[in-house]
Structure 1
Amino acid sequence: MSNWANGSDEWTRFIVRQVLASGRPLDVDAQEHAYSLFRQEKALDVRTFPTEEPLVLIEREDEALEPLTLTSLSRVEGVNALETGGVIEPHEGLTILFGENGTGKTGYSRIFKALAASRTADEILSDISVASPQPQSATIRYSLGAEPKTYMWSGQQGVAPFTRMSIFDSPSVSFHVDDDLEYVYVPAALALFNHVAAGIKSVQSQVDASISELRSRSTGLLSRFGRTATVYPLIETLGASTDLEDLKSKADFGADVETRIGELRRTVAALEADTISSEITALARTERALKQAAALATTVAGFDGNAFSVERDKLADLQNDYRLFRAALFEAADLPAEPDETWNSFVQAGERYKAHLSDLDVHDAERCLYCRQPLVGPAAVLVGKYSEYLEDTIADGITVSKGRLTALGAPLFAAEVADIEAFLRDHADEDPQLTYQAALERTVSTHATLMDACKANENNVGGEASNIDSEARAPLGIDAQTIQTAQPDALTLSDAVTAASDRLVDLRQQAATRDETLAAKQKSLVELEAAAELSKSWSEIELHVRDAKQADRLALLAKPMPTLQRNLTALSKAASDQMINESFDALFAAERAALRAPEMRVEYIGRKGKAHRRKVLTGKHRPSAVLSEGEQKVLAMADFLAEARLAGISAPVIFDDPVSSLDHRRINEVAQRIASLAESTQVIVFTHDIFFATTLLNLMVSSKRCSYFQITDEDGKGHVTRATGPRWDTLNNIKAQINETIQTANSEEGNARAALIRTGYDWIRSWCEVFTETELLQGVTQRYQPNVRMTSLPNIKTAALPAAIEVVNRVFEEACRYIDGHSQPLASMNISPSLTGLEAHWKELQEARGAWFKADG
């Protein structure tokens, strides 16, 4: 590994150096240092760390593990439906936990699997039948080396040092048969590869995290730029490929940029508010008023005041003459009143009626138009005077004069002044006043004065009853100088009209191009704001681009890391071939032979710096597709035991129902292997197979390294009792029980002695059965054994059988009379056995056994 590290980067060399020196995985500080060194080595950061010198080979010795021994499991609560109070005290050799299906064995095995973090450890549930399940807990006492310890378990998974325990169960068969398994035990030297791989992985993870962080940082830059700005796509795609010099050239760093932005904003606001339209409307009103005013001033200036006064005087004279003529003409007519306008209208009406009759050719000049009486005498004279009156030339002169006066004042009356007056009202309080306001006001005032004068004088000269001489006639009301001033006012107002019209044309042209102007100004504003924002955000932009470039560099630098891992895997595989695989091959072959498992080829592969093994048959078939269930189980057990023995077993080995689906022959082979393992290792076996349990007990008779526990559900699920086993009775054990019973009976009297004597006969009866099975019949047939051992048949001492049978059968029959398990006839029920008889019978049986051993088979 040192040579491999010396050919790699400095950061890799640092990881290897740390792992070799400590023999442990890198801690958090060392992982951070490795990543920092990686960044400095790749010129991502300023170099501050010293150079990592080449490694010198370090010799290490693996530390021996202190043996772990379980001494008790008690106070179990909240595990499945197990009762509280059960106590299991494993033997330092073999411990058998026997119980039928559903009695609670699995609950205890699940605790051990959780502690060991077994491959097949599953979730532990509390009693599902209760509404409020209890928390999981148990007390585990154990010794580590010579030191006793206690651990209070509360549901934890994978607790050291219990993780060193090896556990085999039915679900693990598929792992050991078909899966590519990583070794549970890895030698300390080989484990260093795993630590180095983890260190490299930590650097790779930090690289990946840095890349993710650099690429996911949210700058919020895009929201600061208008979508229509030319720089928007550049900000939107801001990254490692961004040309910063080109982007910077689009920024505006000017000190007055905010002032320029403000001016543009005001211009745009004015264009958006469309004030030109309102200005055009107001100016059109002004133009219209000024045109009326200019025309009015021209009319005022063109008014001939002298001609109007002369004509007015002439009309007055004519009217006066006409009144005198009329008075003289009708002086003798005896009119009821003076001939006024009413009378004049009467006369004119008669004339019109006369003309009407003439048109109809029915006029009779000799008759009165009104009364139709003949016109004679004074009446005819009066009617003649009417005609003379109407045909008077003075009346014609009056009509002509009135026409001339009307013609002279007509322009004044025809002039439009409504817009002018409204304009003056709107600008009455304006300050400063308009340049043409004085001319406008004079024009309106002069026009009003002339209008009043014309109306007044017209009234004065229009009545027939008025008789005003020239001195009393109404004056015109305005002097000639004022009328003459109207001419320059007309020129002033005409100039104002021209200026307003020109301005109106200009505004209308601006209005026609307002949308184009507004769009251009808005575009200019967006570009200027974007340029200003570029300058303000430039440091963030540079940082973002730098981060993006660093992320791309990190991604490129991370590409060789998988290759680095593969190289380490290859190196680890080569080391594991030397340190593990060759040893595993030998151990697996031995275990496979001991268990009579099928022949199998093991391939060794490496993945991610770790050693794996795979079992294959010819043609690369999966073993489970070819082997029977029983073959798979013993193959898995061989793999399991070989793996457990790799490091030298220093912790308990636990088997959970290891012989299900095995035939009787394989059960015996598995039992023998487990029994041999228990000679030097603590072994715990959970089983419901009575034949397997009794076989194990028989195999452990000589060493006595065995404890047997019965698990039942009679007094609660998982009830544990220590027992002698379903077939744990041996002659020596029973002999001890009989001797102790006789000795105790000798010290008792009365009913106590009688009860002990019956117990002694019970043991004698058992001794007879065991003696018959194991010695007289040489174990050819035994209880709980699946087969008849025909190979032991020649060992039976047939010549000595009659004598031994006579003694054993007689004493057996006698013993049956005194035990509670057999009913007795009434004649013998009250006959109590004696201690002397018990001792005599026991002596006979021992003598019969001694004679049996001395006999020649």
Structure 2
Amino acid sequence: MKVETATSQRIDPRDLLSEWANSSDEWVRYIVRHVLTGAGPLSSDEAAEAYALFRQEKAFDSRELPTEEPLATLESEDEAIEPLTLTSVANVVGVNALVEGGVIEPHAGLTILFGENGTGKTGYSRIFKALAKSRTADVILGDIEAPSPKQQSAEISYTLGSTTKTYTWTGGQGIAPFTRMSIFDSPSVSFHVDDDLEYVYVPAALALFNHVIAGIKSVQSAIDQAAHELRSGHTGLLSRFTRTATVYPLIETLGASTDLEHLKSFVDTGEDVDTRVAQLRRTVAALEADTISAEIKIQQRVERVLTQASNAATTLADFNTDAYSREREALHGLQKDYRAFRDSLFEAADLPADPDDTWSAFVTAGKAYEAHLVELGVHDIDRCLYCRQPLDDAARGLINKYSEYLEDKITADITASKVRLDAFGERITSLEIRDAATFAAEYDDTDDKPDYHLELDRTLLSVATITKQLQAGASIDSTLTESATTDAATLNVVLTSTTSALKELRKQAATRTETLATKRKELVELEAAAELGKSWSLIEAQVRDAKEADRLTLLAKPMPGLLRAVTGLAKTASDQMINESFDALFTEECAALRAPTLDIEFVGRQGLAKRRKVLTGKHKPSAVLSEGEQKVLAMADFLAEARLAGITAPVIFDDPVSSLDHRRINEVAQRVTLLAETTQVIVFTHDIFFASTLLALMETTKRCAYFQITDEEGKGKITRATGPRWDSLGSIKKNINETIQAATSQDGDARAALVRTGYDWIRAWCEVFTETELLQGVTQRYQPNVRMTNLPKIKADALPDAIETVNRIFEEACRYIDGHSQPLPTLGVSPTLGGLETHWAELTAARTTYINADR
């Protein structure tokens, strides 16, 4: 099924790249030249030099690198790959629950690994998938029931060309040269049917396009990085300027479009600029200190203190001590006359005690109570106000004297005199001097007293002394007010001066706010102008860098076009080198496997060759095809891809015929055996018909090895065998011996049941022995043909004795199993343990005799 592909008219991909590079910039030719000569990607140094050439070619840097001359056509080289052949897989440890000690020795042709589900086949297939890093490789676990997991490992023996090698696998994935192995399994079906797949094999010449794309992208990345660094390399410049400065927006938007001449007009480069800045800072600091406000508060307090002191001194000066003394003496005279009148008036009143102030209060209270009763209309003039007894003439006369006493003119004069005396004293006692007293007290223990402290202290002392005298009703010392007029004048002068100074301070405070704002603005502008001069080299560098970044960004715009151009070249080359060949191979495989007919679309992006399968109407195959059709379609895609490179490594199939009918199984088997004629093929399967078909197809060439995988002595037990069976003599022998052993320890019905089970296994042993050894596998269950080549192996002379023993015991066993009806005479006859043991011994002896015959 090999496809011969014509190459005489093909264009070498190297020529395509060379012609394209010769029409491009020098730095592009540099990349292509190094990719073609090195047959691989650019090194980091070469990528850096490509970017350096780009900068020099575009006049960012001075030219130092040599001119990149046009490329000549390069001679193509054949890709030689040494064939890989697996020779053994042994010493598997720590993979799932596989038992240790199993050995697989794959044939150079076909190797069949047959086992039922759950016997351990998957563990071995996972090792191959990990080595190849197949698309469906998954995580390999250890024995989850083991107390502690073991380190995964396996010994892989192989030949590479003519060299024999061994590799110790420790769980890694994607190990060369095993990555060349092709693996097909059920999970990969969806990839091969629906996905846009990249080719596993890419010719070295075609891979050059990817390397060129990577080189261009490295230059593109370097351009982007340089532009980013140029735009962000002076981020600290803006912090040097105050936001309110006129030039701040210009610095904030500093870039390629900045008018440097206009910005330079704001620069102050005077030699004394630092001195002027320092002076202006001191001025602003003084204005910000706000000493005027503090002085205003001080002067406001002094003004308040002087106002209180001046009022007090003026009041003292106006206080007439003589008039106060005369009024006081007059009051004393009135009070003396009042007492004399009271004594004479009540001399014959037979009072219990001499009338005094307490008695006067009693009389006054009675008069008030009488007025109250009159107001209520309940006053009885014939009764006493206090005891409510009828009044006689003597009592009524006494009450009249009370009225006469209260209405006496002397009492009214006394009251009037007291009012006048209170008016004299109130002017002094009502003075507000607390702030003045507190202020004066603060200077008691200091030497730095105010100029007016004598007048202030004297005034406060006089007010305090006179207040005490007034409250005591004592005479007033006239010397306390002698200097009051002078003190008032002095304090008033100081008060006037303080008020005038306070007014001036308030005026200055109002203008200070405006001055501070002006000076602050001047300082901001001067500092910005000075900083402009100091930072001018950085400003020019930032503008220059911004212009360079803009140029780099502009020159980077054609990069996507360059990448698309290389992708177009890669697609042209891949169409010629891969897609056309793949299309032919895929068509062949579909015909061989009777897969559905569909279209293949070849997709190329970023230099990658991909393929996509679609049915009519652009439907995905999985949406239309059956599961079996999808599987053979996937296998056709898999085999075409494997053959595309020329298969040089094992091809592995893991359960390739699940969900297929017998006809398709036969077709897949024929395709696998055809592949095994020239390639090492390993097949994992649990399908007995598929395994038997493969063995029958390989009967002629003998390029086949068959291994049975069982879980009889642990998961993944490997046994070399001749063909698949559901039963083996070894497994049945084990079951017979275990059943006899169990029956020995039982009695009654339990023993009888075990003996019948033993005869059931005896019957199965007879069938398998007849198939595999008496008849040498000439005809076997699940084999599609009669193996006539094995007919001479039958030992005809030894057959009669063996047949007699096997047939007799077989019929005896049939009597005791439930699957056969019994005649009435024997229905009640039960087998015995001794009989079972005897029959088993006879069969064992008959087999030994037959095997040893003709030796």
Q: Normalised by the size of structure 1, how large is the TM-score?
A: 0.65
CA 1:295 to 1:586, structure 2 compared with 1: closer, same or farther past 3 Å?
same
Most deviating of 24-33 and 415-424: 415-424
Matching residue's letter, 2:714: G
CA 1:17 to 1:294, structure 2 compared with 1: closer, same or farther past 3 Å?
farther
Which residue of structure 2 lines up, in the alignment, with residue 769 of structure 1? 775
Give the whole-Å Cα distance in 1 for the aligned partners of 2:214 and 2:664: 43
Most deviating of 171-180 and 201-210: 201-210
Secondary structure of the structure 2 residue equivalent to 1:256? helix
CA 1:658 to 1:694, structure 2 compared with 1: closer, same or farther past 3 Å?
same
1:272-291 pair list within 5 angstroms: 274-281=293-300, 284=303
Shift of 1:830: 11
| Match of residue 46, structure 2, among 24, 30, 38 | 30
Shift of 1:12: 1.8
1:92-131 pair list within 5 angstroms: 92-130=108-146
CA 1:715 to 1:246, structure 2 compared with 1: closer, same or farther past 3 Å?
farther
Which residue of structure 1 lines up, in the alignment, with residue 19 of structure 2? 3
Q: What do residues 776-799 of structure 1 show as CA deviations (whole Å, max 9, x unaligned)?
A: xxxxxx63146x89xx9xxx9xxx
Matching residue's letter, 1:137: S
Which residue of structure 2 lines up, in the alignment, with residue 137 of structure 1? 153
Which residue of structure 1 lines up, in the alignment, with residue 6 of structure 2? none
Secondary structure of the structure 2 residue equivalent to 1:695? helix
1:180-579 pair list within 5 angstroms: 180-211=196-227, 219=235, 246=262, 249=265, 254-256=273-275, 258-260=277-279, 262-271=281-290, 274-281=293-300, 284=303, 500-512=498-510, 515-521=513-519, 548-579=546-577
Which residue of structure 2 lines up, in the alignment, with residue 815 of structure 1? 802
- Are the aligned partners of 1:267 and 1:521 in contact in 2 as well (CA < 8 Å)? no
Matching residue's letter, 1:691: F
% identical aligned pairs = 60
Which residue of structure 2 lines up, in the alignment, with residue 648 of structure 1? 646
| Match of residue 146, structure 1, among 148, 159, 162 | 162
CA 1:641 to 1:290, structure 2 compared with 1: closer, same or farther past 3 Å?
same
Most deviating of 536-545 and 98-107: 536-545
- Are the aligned partners of 2:234 and 2:542 in contact in 1 as well (CA < 8 Å)? no
Unaligned runs of 5+ in 2: 1-16, 318-328, 345-430, 461-474, 727-764, 813-837
CA 1:690 to 1:31, structure 2 compared with 1: closer, same or farther past 3 Å?
same
Matching residue's letter, 1:815: A
Which residue of structure 1 lines up, in the alignment, with residue 605 of structure 2? 607
Secondary structure of the structure 2 residue equivalent to 1:139? strand
CA 1:441 to 1:164, structure 2 compared with 1: closer, same or farther past 3 Å?
closer
Which residue of structure 1 lines up, in the alignment, with residue 172 of structure 2? 156
Most deviating of 660-669 and 525-534: 525-534
1:713-724 pair list within 5 angstroms: 713-724=711-722
| Match of residue 583, structure 2, among 574, 582, 585 | 585
Shift of 1:43: 3.8
Give the whole-Å Cα distance in 1 for the aligned partners of 2:441 and 2:251: 59
| Match of residue 701, structure 1, among 691, 699, 714 | 699
Matching residue's letter, 2:49: H
Secondary structure of the structure 1 residue equivalent to 2:145? coil
Matching residue's letter, 1:633: K
Shift of 1:544: 5.3
- Are the aligned partners of 1:264 and 1:525 in contact in 2 as well (CA < 8 Å)? no
Secondary structure of the structure 2 residue equivalent to 1:73? strand
Q: What do residues 761-786 of structure 1 show as CA deviations (whole Å, max 9, x unaligned)?
A: x999857635864xxxxxxxx63146
Most deviating of 678-687 and 585-594: 585-594
- Are the aligned partners of 2:87 and 2:158 in contact in 1 as well (CA < 8 Å)? yes
Secondary structure of the structure 2 residue equivalent to 1:633? helix
CA 1:108 to 1:235, structure 2 compared with 1: closer, same or farther past 3 Å?
farther
Shift of 1:422: 9.8
Shift of 1:353: 11
Which residue of structure 2 lines up, in the alignment, with residue 460 of structure 1? none
Shift of 1:570: 0.8
Shift of 1:571: 0.5
CA 1:567 to 1:819, structure 2 compared with 1: closer, same or farther past 3 Å?
same
Q: How many residues align?
A: 669
Most deviating of 230-239 and 145-154: 230-239
Which residue of structure 2 lines up, in the alignment, with residue 669 of structure 1? 667
CA 1:771 to 1:29, structure 2 compared with 1: closer, same or farther past 3 Å?
closer
Secondary structure of the structure 2 residue equivalent to 1:65? coil
Which residue of structure 2 lines up, in the alignment, with residue 329 of structure 1? none
- Are the aligned partners of 2:798 and 2:850 in contact in 1 as well (CA < 8 Å)? no
Which residue of structure 1 lines up, in the alignment, with residue 182 of structure 2? 166
Which residue of structure 1 lines up, in the alignment, with residue 368 of structure 2? none
Shift of 1:538: 5.6
Most deviating of 250-259 and 685-694: 250-259
Q: What do residues 353-378 of structure 1 show as CA deviations (whole Å, max 9, x unaligned)?
A: 99xx9xxxxxxxxxxxxxxxxxxxxx
CA 1:506 to 1:51, structure 2 compared with 1: closer, same or farther past 3 Å?
farther
Shift of 1:170: 1.5
Give the whole-Å Cα distance in 1 for the aligned partners of 2:850 and 2:146: 57
Most deviating of 260-269 and 110-119: 260-269
Shift of 1:589: 2.1
- Are the aligned partners of 1:283 and 1:504 in contact in 2 as well (CA < 8 Å)? no
Shift of 1:44: 4.0
Shift of 1:46: 4.2
- Are the aligned partners of 1:25 and 1:199 in contact in 2 as well (CA < 8 Å)? yes
Shift of 1:77: 2.2
Which residue of structure 1 lines up, in the alignment, with residue 65 of structure 2? 49
Give the whole-Å Cα distance in 1 for the aligned partners of 2:572 and 2:432: 117
The question of 1:784 aligning with 2:771 is answered no
Give the whole-Å Cα distance in 2 for the aligned partners of 1:263 and 1:501: 30
- Are the aligned partners of 2:292 and 2:508 in contact in 1 as well (CA < 8 Å)? no
Give the whole-Å Cα distance in 2 for the aligned partners of 1:25 and 1:683: 34
Give the whole-Å Cα distance in 1 for the aligned partners of 2:301 and 2:543: 56
Shift of 1:556: 3.3
Shift of 1:572: 0.7
Secondary structure of the structure 2 residue equivalent to 1:40? helix
Secondary structure of the structure 2 residue equivalent to 1:138? strand
CA 1:5 to 1:808, structure 2 compared with 1: closer, same or farther past 3 Å?
same
- Are the aligned partners of 1:214 and 1:551 in contact in 2 as well (CA < 8 Å)? yes
Q: Normalised by the size of structure 2, how large is the TM-score?
A: 0.65
Shift of 1:590: 2.1
- Are the aligned partners of 2:651 and 2:679 in contact in 1 as well (CA < 8 Å)? yes
- Are the aligned partners of 2:277 and 2:526 in contact in 1 as well (CA < 8 Å)? no
- Are the aligned partners of 1:183 and 1:612 in contact in 2 as well (CA < 8 Å)? yes
Most deviating of 216-225 and 679-688: 216-225
Give the whole-Å Cα distance in 1 for the aligned partners of 2:693 and 2:850: 36
Unaligned runs of 5+ in 1: 300-341, 358-414, 449-462, 464-475, 477-482, 729-758, 774-781, 797-803, 844-857
- Are the aligned partners of 1:765 and 1:815 in contact in 2 as well (CA < 8 Å)? no
Secondary structure of the structure 2 residue equivalent to 1:620? coil
Most deviating of 665-674 and 611-620: 611-620
Which residue of structure 2 lines up, in the alignment, with residue 455 of structure 1? none
CA 1:587 to 1:547, structure 2 compared with 1: closer, same or farther past 3 Å?
same
- Are the aligned partners of 1:818 and 1:832 in contact in 2 as well (CA < 8 Å)? no
- Are the aligned partners of 1:712 and 1:719 in contact in 2 as well (CA < 8 Å)? yes
Q: What do residues 294-326 of structure 1 show as CA deviations (whole Å, max 9, x unaligned)?
A: 999xx9xxxxxxxxxxxxxxxxxxxxxxxxxxx
Shift of 1:432: 11
| Match of residue 618, structure 1, among 616, 619, 622 | 616
Give the whole-Å Cα distance in 2 for the aligned partners of 1:239 and 1:492: 73
Secondary structure of the structure 1 residue equivalent to 2:775? helix
- Are the aligned partners of 1:294 and 1:494 in contact in 2 as well (CA < 8 Å)? no
What is the root-mean-square deviation in Å for CA atoms of aligned residues? 5.7
Give the whole-Å Cα distance in 2 for the aligned partners of 1:821 and 1:607: 75
